[in-house]
Amino acid sequence: MSASTARSYGRGAAILSLGIGATGLITFGYFSLASYTLTDDEYGRISLLWSAIFITVSVLYRPVEQLLSRTIADHDARGVAGSEHLRVAATIQLALGALFVVAALALRGPLEDGLLGGSASLYWILVVAVLAYAASYFARGFLAGHHHFGLYGGLVLMESSSRCLFALAVAVGIAEGQTAVALGMAAAPIVSLAVVPPALARRIAPGGEGEVADAAQLDAAARDEPAAREPEFTLAHGAGFAAAVLLVMLSEQTFLNAGPLLIEATEGARGAALAGFTFNVLLIARAPLTLFQAVQTSILPHLTRLRAGGEADPFRRSVNATLAAIAGFAACVALVMLAAGPVLMDLLFGGDFDYERGGLVLVSVGVGLYLAAATLNQALLARGRAPLAASCWVTAAAGFVLFLLLADFDDPVLKVEVAFGGAAACLCGALYASYRRG
């Protein structure tokens, strides 16, 4: 790995860490404001709407983001010309958006009357937000693949900031009610697309990055290098990769959202409020995962370029360095939760529930294992082994849900905490074994 390549990866991760770190704090602010300004039941509906939106968009659209990021980086490294991969990715994304609309209309009754407490406003916010994120995630993949990490960080920062303004408006009395808070979820992905025109201008400007890339591709073709004769990127190729990553994303969202959703469905009258409390506990996992998006976003194209260049040792060193950093981070989070977890959670979210120190520490340990698993997953994707990674995720997620359904706990929140930590350990072990075999 050249010094310039290492510096490029380091700068990209650092820039994204700043933008996405700020995004995580602002997202905490959004839910903190919502928690203090809404009733427990209203806040529970907001957290369930958030879960429904981000389960859907992560499952449907992140596969295309990952597909674009990996394919653009691979083509650039190999000197492969053409834009067929963009057309393929756009076709898949449009098809997934259309599939969502059909499913949402068919399931309007259960979604509106069951999940969202009979609120037509929340239902239409769900529909608009999910469709808007189709464009947002396509833009993210394009930006990551081309190493436009500053613009990527700007996109997610604009998204979280604009969403938080709606909760702030309710807090200061400009607006009121859960609908006003929820509107931020639909507006945020639309506002964030303001970063796309600068990215396109940079690619097409005379002498810009796009022209340099095209010159490198033409030079490779002129020398008849093997990289220039790569097989054409087809819809079948792209759909196969996206389908495997879709299973990974579905499993990922199962880890983060199945607990609150099952509690809401099984705990009767107190289900919505208790689901909101469980959601707050799992924010300990969500916040680091939000920050870790910076690493995920930059490491996939980075590892893909190293693999395309045949640099095996730098590939392993990048993965090992990331795992070491995660271990240190998770240890710090666990120590903070051990020392002051209940006090911090009460300060941030208030409410009538008590946060247990042991459960918070257990979730913190699970976060470290989960982040390590996500890193190993990116390494497998960079190697083109998406189906193997998907099999590990699906198995671990199925075990997680079975535990939640079958285990007998007096405290449903503790059951979610134990299930999350145990399933994260199993997932990390399975992915590590697969990575070592590679």
DSSP string, 43-111: HHHHHHHHHHHHHHHHHHHHHHHHHHHHHHHHHHHHT---SHHHHHHHHHHHHHHHHHHHHHHHTHHII
Q: Report how many domains make up the chain.
A: 1
pLDDT at residue 184 in the model: 92
Q: Convert the pLDDT of each residue in 238-264 to its tens digit.
A: 788 889 999 998 898 888 778 887 887
Instruction: Using pLDDT thresholds of 50, 70 and 90, give the confidence band for residue 399.
Output: very high
3-class secondary structure for 325-354? HHHHHHHHHHHHHHHHHHHHHHHHHCCCCC
- Relative orientation angle of helices 357-382 and 386-406, to the nearest 10 degrees: 160
Instruction: Using pLDDT thresholds of 50, 70 and 90, give the confidence band for residue 215.
Output: very low
pLDDT at residue 181 in the model: 93
Report how far Cα 383 is from the mean position of its chain's Cα atoms: 20
Least confident of 10-19, 64-73, 140-149, 417-426: 10-19
d(CA 311, CA 118): 56
* Whether 115 contacts 265, CB under 8 Å: no
pLDDT at residue 169 in the model: 92
Q: What is the mean pLDDT of residues 229-242?
A: 69
pLDDT at residue 115 in the model: 84
d(CA 263, CA 352): 17
What is the C-alpha radius of gyration for the chain, rounded to an integer number of angstroms? 22
Residue with tokens 């095209």: 214
Backbone angles phi, psi at 384, to 5 degrees: 75, 25
Mean of all residue pLDDT scores within the chain? 82
Count of C-beta atoms within a 10 Å radius of residue 87: 13
pLDDT at residue 438 in the model: 63
Instruction: Using pLDDT thresholds of 50, 70 and 90, give the confidence band for residue 42.
Output: confident
The domain in which residue 35 lies consists of: 3-437
Whether the per-residue pLDDT at 420 is higher than 70: the answer is yes
Q: Which residues contact 218 (CB under 8 A, 6 or more apart)?
A: 81
Least confident of 97-106, 200-209, 319-328: 200-209
pLDDT at residue 5 in the model: 53
Whether the per-residue pLDDT at 229 is higher than 50: the answer is no
* Whether 392 contacts 316, CB under 8 Å: no
Whether the per-residue pLDDT at 7 is higher than 60: the answer is no
Name the most confidently modeled range: 65-79, 125-139, 144-158, 217-231.
125-139
pLDDT at residue 378 in the model: 92
Structure tokens at 427: 């997932």
d(CA 157, CA 249): 22
* Whether 158 contacts 192, CB under 8 Å: yes
What's the sign of the alpha-carbon dihedral 407, 409, 415, 421?
A: negative
User: Where in 189-258 does DSSP place strands (E)?
Assistant: none
Q: What is the mean pLDDT of residues 363-388?
A: 91
Q: How many CA atoms lie within 13 A of 379 on its CB side?
A: 26
Q: What is the mean pLDDT of residues 348-355?
A: 69
